């Protein structure tokens, strides 16, 4: 293979290694941002055992709004609950056959506490209030989601470290082959008094350009992948009524990617070249 072809292949391999954990990390970041904007705030559904227009319901509403642990309370009447269920389920014709509304009124409560013992105490307190039939606070899904996000974040970190090690090995092996091909020149340079640091300097520069070029390829792969996936991901998010969307790399993120690539190239060249140059001595 020609030298330009070999160089481009090396850049492409490094770019793929850098882009894979970066793409996964960007996806997790956008998912976390979308969840924080949408549905991460806990909500408690308080179903009433009394009509929504009764004095008991009004007293319960005032009690909850006066609590220091509650951010907001919204009353959903029986008619509103029926209309919302009919719109979401598509069973409007079937529900219209009922002579009476089978759905109770409810209070949509936004607590200030997010979870744990305080949330359980708040739910138990609301469950014992007069006029309350049932209190539903499904925080288990939120805990599972947060645990899954933590696992995936650590997986991204592990993948980033492993692929970074792979980049170092790729650049180190490429430079090792270059050193072996120039072994005679290096021996002659050392014979005339060249130090290892002097001989090492051009290989450091080569490692820098290998890492920087690989980072440029990674930037291109990430941008093309995000553009290719943006439309179907947005359609899927709209189907689930989510604001999740994939965005392109910002200027700061692009600069960080280039710095990481160049830094990995310099680190790989310093470690690999220093070790191999020690083994080359003039005869």
What pLDDT, in 10s, does the model give residues 202-212?
A: 888 888 999 99
Query: What is the spatial distance between Cα 174 and Cα 183, in angstroms, rounded to a whole number?
Result: 14
Contact (Cβ atoms closer than 8 angstroms) between residue 40 and residue 246: no
CATH code for position 68: 3.30.70.3040
Among 138, 155, 176, identify where a domain stops. Answer: 138
The answer on 197 and 254 residing in a single domain is: yes
The answer on 203 and 128 residing in a single domain is: no
Strands (E) located in 91-238: 106-111, 132-136
The pLDDT confidence band at residue 255, using thresholds 50, 70 and 90, is very high
Contact (Cβ atoms closer than 8 angstroms) between residue 1 and residue 9: yes
The answer on 242 and 164 residing in a single domain is: yes
- What is the domain extent for residue 83? 44-138
The pLDDT confidence band at residue 275, using thresholds 50, 70 and 90, is confident
The answer on 151 and 215 residing in a single domain is: yes
Segment 120-146 shows an average pLDDT of 80
* pLDDT of 93 strictly over 60: no
Question: Which position has the higher pLDDT, 214 or 42?
Answer: 214
Counting the structural domains of the chain, the total is 2
Among 123, 138, 153, identify where a domain stops. Answer: 138
The answer on 198 and 73 residing in a single domain is: no
* pLDDT of 1 strictly over 50: no
pLDDT of residue 135: 87
Contact (Cβ atoms closer than 8 angstroms) between residue 118 and residue 69: yes
71: DSSP letter: E
Question: Which position has the higher pLDDT, 197 or 48?
Answer: 48
The answer on 216 and 104 residing in a single domain is: no
Query: What is the spatial distance between Cα 276 and Cα 139, in angstroms, rounded to a whole number?
Result: 57
Nearest alpha carbon to residue 176 among 71, 272, 274: 272
The pLDDT confidence band at residue 263, using thresholds 50, 70 and 90, is very high
Contact (Cβ atoms closer than 8 angstroms) between residue 264 and residue 211: yes
Contact (Cβ atoms closer than 8 angstroms) between residue 107 and residue 60: yes
The answer on 150 and 128 residing in a single domain is: no
């Amino acid at each position: 293979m020609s030298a330009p072809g070999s160089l481009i292949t090396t850049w492409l391999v490094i770019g793929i290694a850098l882009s894979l954990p970066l793409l996964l990390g960007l996806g997790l970041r956008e998912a976390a941002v979308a969840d924080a904007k949408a549905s991460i705030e806990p909500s408690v559904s308080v179903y009433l055992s009394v009509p929504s227009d009764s004095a008991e319901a009004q007293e319960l509403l005032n009690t909850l709004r006066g609590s220091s642990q509650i951010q907001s309370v919204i009353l959903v009447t029986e008619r509103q609950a029926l209309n919302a269920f009919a719109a979401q389920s598509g069973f409007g014709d079937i529900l219209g056959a009922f002579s009476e509304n089978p759905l109770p009124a409810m209070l949509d409560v936004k607590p200030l506490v997010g979870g744990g013992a305080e949330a359980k105490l708040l739910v138990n307190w609301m469950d014992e209030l007069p006029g309350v039939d049932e209190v539903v606070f499904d925080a288990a899904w939120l805990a599972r989601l947060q645990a899954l996000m933590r696992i995936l974040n650590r997986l991204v970190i592990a993948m980033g470290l492993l692929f970074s090690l792979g980049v170092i090995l790729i650049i180190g092996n490429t430079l090792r082959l270059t050193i072996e091909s120039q072994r005679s020149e290096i021996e002659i340079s050392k014979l005339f008094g060249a130090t290892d640091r002097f001989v090492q300097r051009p290989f450091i520069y080569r490692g820098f350009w290998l890492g920087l070029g690989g980072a440029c390829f990674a930037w291109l792969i990430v941008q093309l992948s995000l553009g290719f996936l943006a439309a179907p991901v947005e359609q899927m998010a709209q189907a689930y009524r989510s604001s999740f969307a994939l965005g392109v790399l910002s200027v700061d993120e692009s600069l960080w990617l280039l710095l990481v690539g160049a830094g990995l190239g310099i680190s790989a060249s310093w470690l690999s070249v220093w070790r191999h140059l020690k083994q080359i001595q003039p005869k």
